[in-house]
Chain A
């Protein structure tokens, strides 16, 4: 034992389980009597305990100016908290939300066919966690530093969703939605756990099953039997538009970014023109063009595409330009030596891009892409302007119902819509910050 090089201790192939490995390391460390062996951490400097009094003194009343700041912001926060509390629990007239909760979630989807979106929700609750569970390990392998799996991290990731589900369920008037959510959560937990278990043995099969499952649980209930996106609305429409926007624009954006970096002047000029043209114009203008102009571009004898389809085309075209700029940033961050090395070992230009450049480039821009997704998710609210019944539009039209007209209920309905947008966007932005830290970006 003593003759073995120290560095090998940790890489022993037979040290299969972490506990066993640690045991060996500790045993070796003891035999060496104080010589640092293995991954012993340097002793950390002792943390100085800061008492409550001292903390308050340092953080709130360090000087006269600080005391003034504390008083001002204390009053401000108290006032905001008081106003919010009063609005939510006392003055808010929330009946308009209770009555229209299904509309907020699904728009005008025929009420006799509600099993369809429910089936979709349960299908997604199965297959998305399955896939997340399967990738959890991969992400962990990519991650630097220790995997944190304690309850604090879980809580900080989960509370927005708990608030969202709790908030929405508090407006229901029957027990059915609560039971459905409970069922979905139960199915989801089991699926996540199975995905994690199956990751090693059948990773590829799980990927395929999840992909097929997600597409099928979306397509079968919501697109068959004469249904289509013209029937949808509310949160369903918002999420669908965001998902289509980012999913379809992603490959187009990569192609545009590669085109912009290409050394063929003709192709480069086309890509630059497209990207700069789209990025120089507000999304509203493009959506209004979808409303007024895009219909003119189809052949005269073909039927006009639906408004949703035209809007989706514009969303994709818009997002692709922004994705292209993000990906271009990633491409620029790949050192030139990588390309040269790949060329030196004789890879074809296509393989250099596909196997060497793109993986590194995309990994570097994952957080920025998530940021783009968040901003697209928020931008789907602009579909309300051209009259598509997504979440924000629902919040506007329900105040015109005969029972609620001219009562000034916009504050309540818009606040509810803002709440849903906020929670989802906040959760995504926190997740992207977490991902950024775990991938160790900006640290290498």
Chain B
């Protein structure tokens, strides 16, 4: 019973199999080692299988011509693989960018309509949301492509023209578009000058407001300056842009801008599907702004529009931004469904290249890297915006 029989506790450590500090290191080492072993095993299988089947394992293929045609791209069959992928990346970016813009507009419209005072408008908006949100996006894409766009008139001569400004057929859809003429290049300088002038004027108005308290009207002043510079530049350069209207030819139309059928179907489908999700986000975020804010805004005498613009929307925007960025990501990723309908974005090009004998593992590694880059850039932009919108807190 003397102290000597008790083990000396101070400074001693438990045996290693019960020491948390040891266990932590061991656990991590075991998990990482197991992961490495599994990956190494899969890698071994992969290389063995590839060499046995005579598939190349290097990256030399990216300089080889793709030997298949991409619609609306000249000499596409002789493009090297990496150039074809760039075309695909561009097409993905186009449909994602336009789709995001359109889906945001439509989504905000439907979301606000769902909160409308008008019963019918509310009903219509909720039918829209419920109908689209619960249907797989691939089904919407296929319906629009196979049952709508491809069913448009195939005969150019009888295709609808809508007052002579469009040509709508199942060979493509032609819309009016701006066409550069002489001096179009210099006009971009004018546009840049207009932007600089607008920013300068807005800054000057803000300074004046801060100094004197006179209402700044930044928006009116800025818009006026922007339009003025553009109009003066347009006149000075002798009409550098003109409206180009599509005109029917034997197998299509010339002039205007041509929308590929698959692109049209994909764009509309992604827009209406994503808009149904955005509408719910918009509605939820507006509802999430505390009611007291509305009441307070009314009490200080703001008009309906001012209340929306100055009180409700800035706060709703803060709530809206993260889920909205998620929807933008989803839209970008969903654009890969074009593989089913023949719009040559990056997934479809990879898919066809692989079917033509390009080595699948490398092609898909490339493709995954492309999508990761898209995802990362969208999250980076949204994080930037989030930081700007965030409430300054201690």
User: What residues of chain A have their CB less than 8 Å away from a CB belonging to chain B?
Assistant: 58-60, 62, 66, 69-70, 73-74, 76-77, 264-267, 270, 277, 279-285, 288-289, 292-293, 295-300, 374, 378-379, 381-382, 384-385, 392, 396, 408, 410-411, 414-415, 417-418, 421-422, 425-426, 429
Contacts and interface: CB of A to CB of B under 8 A. Distances in A.
A300 B45 contact: yes
A270 B35 CA distance: 9
Contacts of B227: none
B76 interface: no
Contacts of A284: 336-337, 339, 347
Nearest to A383: B138
Nearest to A426: B134
Contact of B120 (A73, A285, A396): A73
A363 to B, nearest CB: 21
A264 B27 contact: yes
Contacts of B27: 264, 267
A297 B138 contact: no
Contacts of B354: 288, 292
Given A76-B124, A267-B28, A392 B139 contact: yes
Interface in B288-340: 333-334, 336-337, 339-340
Contacts of A378: 134-137
Contacts of A264: 24, 27-28
Interface stretch (B80-88, B175-183, B233-241, B365-373): B365-373
Given A267-B28, A270-B32, A284-B337, A429 B139 contact: no
A379 B123 contact: no
Nearest 5 pairs of A and B residues by beta carbon: A266-B28, A292-B360, A411-B147, A282-B333, A425-B134
A421 B142 contact: no
A287 to B, nearest CB: 10
Contacts of A74: 120
A429 B134 contact: yes
A390 B114 CA distance: 35
B120 A77 contact: yes
Interface string B100-128: 00000000000000001111110110010
Contacts, number: 162
B357 to A, nearest CB: 11
29 contacts: A66-B117, A69-B120, A73-B121, A77-B120, A266-B28, A266-B32, A270-B32, A281-B368, A281-B371, A281-B372, A281-B375, A282-B337, A288-B347, A288-B351, A288-B354, A293-B360, A296-B49, A297-B45, A299-B45, A379-B136, A381-B138, A381-B139, A382-B337, A385-B337, A392-B138, A392-B142, A414-B143, A415-B143, A422-B135
B52 interface: yes
B118 A70 contact: yes
Nearest to B47: A296
Contact of B361 (A296, A422, A425): A296
Nearest to B142: A414
Contact of A266 (B31, B118, B350, B364): B31
Given A267-B28, A284-B339, A298-B45, A417 B147 contact: no
B118 A270 contact: no
B257 interface: no
Given A266-B28, A382-B138, A414 B146 contact: yes
A410 B140 CA distance: 12
A381 B136 contact: yes
A147 B31 CA distance: 47
Residue among A277, A280, A282 facing the most chain B CB atoms (10 A cut-off): A282
Given A378-B135, A378-B136, A66 B368 contact: no
Interface string B127-160: 1001101111111101100110001000000000
B182 to A, nearest CB: 44
B22 interface: no
Contact of A422 (B127, B131, B146): B131
Interface residues of B, number: 57
B372 A280 contact: yes
A439 B199 CA distance: 51
Contacts of B339: 284, 288, 385
Given A59-B119, A280-B372, A282-B371, 10 more contacts: A70-B121, A265-B28, A270-B35, A288-B347, A289-B360, A300-B49, A408-B151, A417-B139, A418-B140, A425-B135
Determine chain A's interface SS by DSSP, over half rule: helix
Contact of A293 (B139, B337, B361, B371): B361
A253 B109 CA distance: 36
Given A264-B24, A266-B31, A296 B46 contact: yes
Contacts of A374: 134
B376 interface: yes
Nearest to A274: B35
Contacts of B347: 282, 284-285, 288
B191 interface: no
B42 interface: yes
Nearest to B28: A266
A422 B136 CA distance: 8
A160 to B, nearest CB: 10
A384 B138 contact: yes
Given A282-B371, A414-B146, A69 B364 contact: no
Nearest to B330: A282
B64 interface: no
B230 interface: no
B118 A59 contact: yes
Interface centre among A283, A392, A415, A418 (most CB of B within 10 A): A418
A270 B31 contact: yes
B385 to A, nearest CB: 19
Nearest to B46: A296
A60 B31 CA distance: 64
Contacts of B28: 264-267
A411 B119 CA distance: 32
Contacts of B131: 422
A123 B116 CA distance: 47
Contacts of B340: 384-385
A340 to B, nearest CB: 17
Interface in B206-225: none
**B140, B151, B340, B371: most-surrounded residue (chain A CB, <10 A):** B340
Nearest to A302: B45
B48 interface: yes
B50 interface: yes
B118 A69 contact: yes
B115 to A, nearest CB: 13
Nearest to A74: B120
Contacts of B116: 69
